[in-house]
Amino acid sequence: MLTLRRINENPEEIIRQLSKKHFDGREVISQIIDLDNTRRKTQTHLDAILGEINTISKSIGQLMKEGNKEEAAIAREKVRVLKETSGELGETLKDAEQKIESLLVTIPNLPHDSVPEGRTAEDNPVERSGGEIPSLGDNALPHWELAKKYDLIDFELGVKITGAGFPVYKGRGARLQRALINFFLDNARDAGFTEVQPPYLVNSDSGFGTGQLPDKEGQMYHVGLDDLYLIPTAEVPVTNIYRDVILEEKELPVKNTAYSACFRREAGSYGKDVRGLNRLHQFDKVEIVCIDKPENSYERLDEMVSYVQTLVEKLELPWRILRLCGGDISFTSALTFDFEVYSTAQKRWLEVSSVSNFESYQANRLKCRYRNADRKTELCHTLNGSALALPRIMAALLENNQTAEGIRIPAPLVPYCGFDLID
């Protein structure tokens, strides 16, 4: 979340920047400034009273030694009254702080200057693209039909066991899924990321730290009895490793990768865009997370984008990178690049990765800091990206590589899955 200092320094600039995300921040910024003024005045008043209580309390003992019992009694009564006042001021201060906090979490992150204007995904400019879209002919099958034909994925069985959006991978489909996971993890390790294996459930503090709560609470599965949440992405537990942590400057950048199952309610999703693997409630993903100094974070973002590009290139998929516009960028992100691959049978682009810089927005919620050369603590910048989300990668691989003989497996995956053709 934004810091009070940043808001107080230039509220009009904050309001202007928020407008790029189509967020009208004028009223909430005004409320926060008013509450902060109240908080500051109350704190000053409270500090003065606590100082007076301390001074008078010290004098009581001396008065008693001198035998001035009447004056000591008067002093005690004054302390009693001042303590009542300090208690009231403390409640006022606590109330102001809680109200400020509740308002701050409703304000999205400020977009980077390079975020383009726009309202919807249709306004996202293409940064660059690559790969060749294969020519499959009119008889090309979508991945859900290929999955049935070759007995790779059973969508109906998933409905029976759990419900829609929970597919069952079978045989070579399961082996290909596992091959992709290991391929992505090995590539991440070779690129300098340290692998971690995080929990799949997190507490509300973790959800708040990375910004899923309270903003996306309705999209998360909640285990009510234990008050835990199934993770929507490994970003949540991996980034929360550094919650309430002060890193040494020499430890930066932190570069982690993790495989996890991901769980999303996807409330309101319907229609052709959710067929097959296009949109699931449970899916697999390999995530990359970076933490760095503010002055290095955009260099780190470029590195992460370039790294994800190598993955789609190795898989021989047609790809493109979009720079998200103000209306399409997430609540917590300052700058996001989306990767899409082309699904030839469906004749549409499928999002397979988002790579984002959150600047200090998450770090402020997480209290993730580092100690600089002057031994002062500063907020870190946090970044993450999908590298990669599996369902739509699987969909594009099946569709784009279908031949008369079967489904061809890209060469880099063959050592991982043990076969070069699904027939």
3-state helix vs strand vs coil in the chain, percent to 5: 45, 20, 35
Range name among 76-80, 191-195, 265-269 with the lowest pLDDT average: 265-269
303 is known to lie in a ligand binding site: no
Residue 270 has pLDDT above 60, yes or no: no
DSSP string over 162-219: T-TT--EE-HHHHHHHHHHHHHHHHHHHHTTPEE----SEE-HHHHHHTT-TTTTGGG
| Residues comprising the chain, all counted | 423
Buried b (16+ CB within 10 A) or exposed e, 159-198: eeeeeebbbbbbebbebbbebbbebbbebbeebebeebeb
Does the annotation list 354 as a binding residue? yes
pTM of the model: 0.93
The torsion angles phi and psi of 60, rounded to 5 degrees, stand at: -65, -45
Structure confidence at residue 61 (pLDDT): 81
CATH fold of 4-104: Helix Hairpins (1.10.287)
- Is 102 annotated as belonging to a binding site? no
Is the confidence at residue 167, as pLDDT, over 60?
Answer: yes
pLDDT of residue 266: 82
pLDDT at 65 over 90: no
Q: Would the annotation count 127 as a binding residue?
A: no
Is residue 287 marked as binding? yes
Contact 379, 109 (CB under 8 A): no
Q: What counts of helices (H) and strands (E) characterise the chain? A: 13, 18
Distance CA 58, CA 237 (A): 50
| 15 φ/ψ angles, rounded to the nearest 5 degrees | -60, -40
The answer to whether the annotation marks 351 as part of a ligand binding site is yes
For 306-346, the pLDDT digits (tens) are: 999 999 999 999 999 999 999 999 999 999 999 999 999 99
What CATH fold (topology level) applies to the domain 121-422?
Answer: BirA Bifunctional Protein; domain 2 (3.30.930)
Instruction: Take residue 346 and report the two structure tokens written for it.
Output: 């469906």
Region 96-109 average pLDDT:
96
Q: Please determine, for residue 232, whether its predicted confidence score (pLDDT) is greater than 80.
A: yes
What residues have CB less than 8 Å from 421, skipping those under 6 apart? 405, 406, 407, 408, 409
Instruction: Give the percent of the chain with pLDDT over 70.
Output: 98
Residue 174 has pLDDT above 80, yes or no: yes
Lowest mean pLDDT among 64-73, 277-286, 380-389: 64-73
Is 352 annotated as contributing to ligand binding?
yes
Can you give the pLDDT at residue 137? Answer: 82
Alpha carbons 191 and 389: distance in angstroms, whole number: 18
**pLDDT the model gives residue 141:** 97
Domain ranges of the chain: 4-104, 121-422
**Quick one: which of 100, 115, 99 has its CA closest to 19?**
115
* Residue 387 near residue 287 (C-beta atoms within 8 A): yes
Asked whether residue 336 is marked as a ligand-binding residue, the answer is no
The residue-averaged pLDDT of 198-225 equals 93
What's residue 271's pLDDT? 55
What is the predicted pLDDT for the residue at 269? 56
